Amino acid sequence: MALYWVQSTDPGAPSLTGQNGSGNLVFDYILNTIAGLTIQYTGTNRSVVQMPDGSVLRYYHDSAASGNARFMIVRAAESASAIDTLVDEFPLTSKVADSLCNVLVSASADATVRPWWALVDTSTTTSCFHFFNEPQTNDIAGGMFWGGGTQVSALPVDTYATVLYTRASSSPATATGAATNGVALFSGTPVNHWLRRSRDGLVKSCTARAGPYTGATVLGITTNGPAYPDPDDGKLRLCKVNILDYYSQSSTTGVSPELVRMWVPRLFQPMHKVSSWASIDNGDTFAASSYDPSAQFAFFKFGNVSGDGGALAVQIAGAWAVPSG
């Protein structure tokens, strides 16, 4: 297992812009050049990479496919037989079209350079790829996350515990970053989180939501929660992000839904009320010695500079494990 924290400010890191192919170069650099994952197939402005859990990730930064050079298509699948041929994809294109299944790489389709950050864990047991950027270079984050592995499930038997978050939006606004929650639990219409399969393998491309469910519509905001810093002790409260499984490809639950199917490796949500994050910049890092002596985290906020669109923290160093007990 190896853990890689990669930033646009690193020597040799490629620039991210709203120009066709830029996002592809950045993802190739993160996943292949730095993390050492295998690129299975390549084409013009697109790649298919073998992820640590055995599934694949395809990314395609071209306005001819997405409809806008500001968007890069990112979709997961169980496997691929060619650059444009995914097998058992999640989400299905019938559920989230290519024009919606994207990362907003830039708010403008031009050469303006945008900051970005990424975490890759290449472990087969707790693998992840979390990508964040500032599409408008204004301290408001966008991005995506992917997680999987043999030890991330909350269930005793589960070989399909892999999740992808996608914006599911054609809007150039950064408010639809990587922090949409499922406050309504098994009601409403989930569109952002997709699981590889149900835990028994019978339902492919399962709809999902992210939690814990704090009464708000986005991760990192807790209805009636404390302000940050916490008035009690001045600290930051964090909780590991879990995934709810509908056991269905739609918003109607199947016969065996799971309230907590898996945890997303190294991804945490702050447990504080709205508008708490103006004093923290995207990418700011901090320690948490009470959690783990070697733990380090990076912080990201969405919607506006106060984080009214939610917030996430990524554990970039130190041991991570699923909750127990």
User: In percent, how much of the chain has pLDDT > 90?
Assistant: 80
**Would you say 149 and 114 are in contact if contact means Cβ atoms under 8 Å apart?**
no
* Tokens representing residue 214 in the block: 């704090």
Contacts of residue 173, defined as CB under 8 A and 6 or more positions apart, other chains included, come to none
Please give the average per-residue pLDDT across 60-74, as a whole number. Answer: 97
Contacts of residue 232, defined as CB under 8 A and 6 or more positions apart, other chains included, come to 226
Q: Would you place residue 202 in the very low, low, confident or very high pLDDT band (cuts 50, 70, 90)? A: very high
Bridge partners (DSSP) listed for residue 80:
86
pLDDT tens, residue by residue, 88-98:
999 999 999 99
In the predicted structure, residue 320 carries a pLDDT above the cut 80: yes
Alpha-carbon distance 204 to 84, whole Å? 19
Please give the average per-residue pLDDT across 285-310, as a whole number. Answer: 92
Query: What are the structural domain ranges in the chain?
Result: 3-317
pLDDT at 290: 83
* Tokens representing residue 169 in the block: 């939006």
pLDDT at 295: 96
Burial code (b: 16+ CB inside 10 Å, e: under 16) for 163-187 equals bbbbbbbbebbbbbbbbbbbbeebe
* Tokens representing residue 119 in the block: 């975490």
Alpha-carbon distance 251 to 187, whole Å? 7
pLDDT at 315: 98
Q: Which of 35-49, 184-198, 293-307 has the lowest mean pLDDT?
A: 184-198
Alpha-carbon distance 26 to 11, whole Å? 13
pLDDT tens, residue by residue, 218-276:
888 888 899 999 999 989 999 999 999 999 999 899 999 999 999 999 999 999 998 88
Please give the average per-residue pLDDT across 163-184, as a whole number. Answer: 77
pLDDT tens, residue by residue, 106-164:
999 999 999 999 999 999 999 999 999 999 989 999 999 999 999 999 999 999 999 99
pLDDT at 174: 67
pLDDT at 147: 98
Tell me the whole-structure pTM to 2 decimals: 0.96
User: In percent, how much of the chain has pLDDT > 70?
Assistant: 95
In the predicted structure, residue 46 carries a pLDDT above the cut 90: yes
Burial code (b: 16+ CB inside 10 Å, e: under 16) for 118-151 equals bbbbbbebbbbbbbbbbbbeebbbbbbbbbbbee
In the predicted structure, residue 175 carries a pLDDT above the cut 90: no
Alpha-carbon distance 269 to 313, whole Å? 6
Lookup result for tokens 């050079």: 69
Please give the average per-residue pLDDT across 159-180, as a whole number. Answer: 84
Alpha-carbon distance 40 to 53, whole Å? 15
In the predicted structure, residue 307 carries a pLDDT above the cut 80: yes
In the predicted structure, residue 186 carries a pLDDT above the cut 80: no
pLDDT at 110: 98
**Would you say 230 and 249 are in contact if contact means Cβ atoms under 8 Å apart?**
no
Range list of H helices, the chain: 22-28, 63-66
pLDDT at 181: 65
* Tokens representing residue 319 in the block: 């041991």
Q: Which amino acid is at 27?
A: F
* Tokens representing residue 201 in the block: 């393998």
In the predicted structure, residue 70 carries a pLDDT above the cut 80: yes
The tally of CA atoms less than 13 A away on the side-chain side of residue 147 is: 24
